[in-house]
Homo-oligomer: A and B are copies of this chain.
Amino acid sequence: MSGKKIDVLGIGNAIVDVIARHDDAFLDRHGLVKGSMQLVDEAGALSLYDKIGPGIEISGGSAANTIAGITSLGGSAGYIGKVATDQIGDVFAHDIRAAGVAYDTPALDGGPKTARCIVIVSPDGQRTMSTFLGASALLGPDDISEADISGAAITYLEGYLWDRPDAKDAFRKAAQLATKNQAQVALTLSDSFCVDRHRDSFLALIRDGVDVLFANEAELLSLYETTSFADAMAAVAKDCTLAAVTRSEKGSAIVADGTVTEVPAQAVDEVVDTTGAGDLYAAGFLFGLARNKPVAECARLGHVAAAEIISHIGARPQVELKTLI
């Protein structure tokens, strides 16, 4: 659509997930709020790691999952995010490059370790995350180049970046460069607690520099401090041109130029792990958008990608998504 070299450039926290399954009693016992993401320091991460039992390590990171989804759908994509020069960082870099993503952010040497996210998967497939940001939080403006941003039709940013000053500066620089280079800026709100931490600056950003907004229902309600979905949709319709709001098994609602379109979710046999559902919805949606599809078709692509990801453990596709569309 754009003459740009690649469809989407994602920028986010470069994280490896450690996944374990536990019941709700485990969450209660360790003071974890089901379905949330909390930030922990290295000591907190190690302490929780001691308690979770055996785990599975798999590359994660919200925007990185989205980007891996876009290449799996047949799109072209790049990623910017910071790992450390350690084995877990090597795993992250291997996996994202193996997914066909252009990735060359320099690894951090001598500082904190590569970010880890401990994901507790509940019997109903919901996930509760405790994230040690480590090296990922030291992504800074110097890691963002105009050449990278100008070469992508869409620059996709995760709200989590807003949690740390260096990453926030990198985020701002990327958004400004995208706008300057006639590229679209897409943002995902990431988490209702993340919205709660940054409501005013997110609202300012959405009204001013964001072309496409992704949120789930809880995040949208938190953004507008309301319990009414209709009120929140009316508010977001005023604040941005295009917003896609996911509602779990109810599908998604898309606001485009003031008009709301509802698209049903894709049926799945069994929900194994919802980790990455929102990330992969964004992958399908952005892939469609970069190819000028109507918004209902963008949403359908999002639901197809999300359905694949929630049918197994981990937030990266296990089949080539392009075979499913």
Q: Within the assembled complex, what's the spacing in Å between the Cα atoms of A57 and B50?
A: 18
Q: Within the assembled complex, what's the spacing in Å between the Cα atoms of A211 and B234?
A: 75
Which secondary structure dominates chain A's binding surface?
A: mixed
**Within 8 Å of chain B (Cβ to Cβ): is A108?**
no
Q: How many copies does the complex hold?
A: 2
Using a Cβ–Cβ cut-off of 8 Å, how many residues does chain A contribute to the interface with B?
26
Chain B residues with Cβ under 8 A from A50's Cβ?
A: 94, 98
Q: Within the assembled complex, what's the spacing in Å between the Cα atoms of A99 and B98?
A: 31
Given the known interface contacts A21-B318, A87-B86, A87-B88, the answer about A55 and B313 at a Cβ–Cβ threshold of 8 Å is: no
Contact of A54 among B54, B59, B86 (CB under 8 A): B59
Q: Within the assembled complex, what's the spacing in Å between the Cα atoms of A26 and B31?
A: 46
Chain B residues with Cβ under 8 A from A316's Cβ?
A: 54
- Considering only residues 279-321 of chain A, those with a C-beta below 8 Å from chain B are 313-314, 316, 318
**Closest CB of chain B to A186's CB: distance in Å?**
23
Which residue of A86, A87, A95 has the most chain B CB atoms within 10 A of its CB atom? A87
Q: Is the CB of B54 within 8 A of A98?
A: yes
Chain B residues with Cβ under 8 A from A318's Cβ?
A: 21
Chain B residues with Cβ under 8 A from A193's Cβ?
A: none
Q: A residues touching B (Cβ–Cβ < 8 Å)?
A: 21, 49-50, 52-59, 68, 86-88, 91, 94-96, 98-99, 113, 313-314, 316, 318
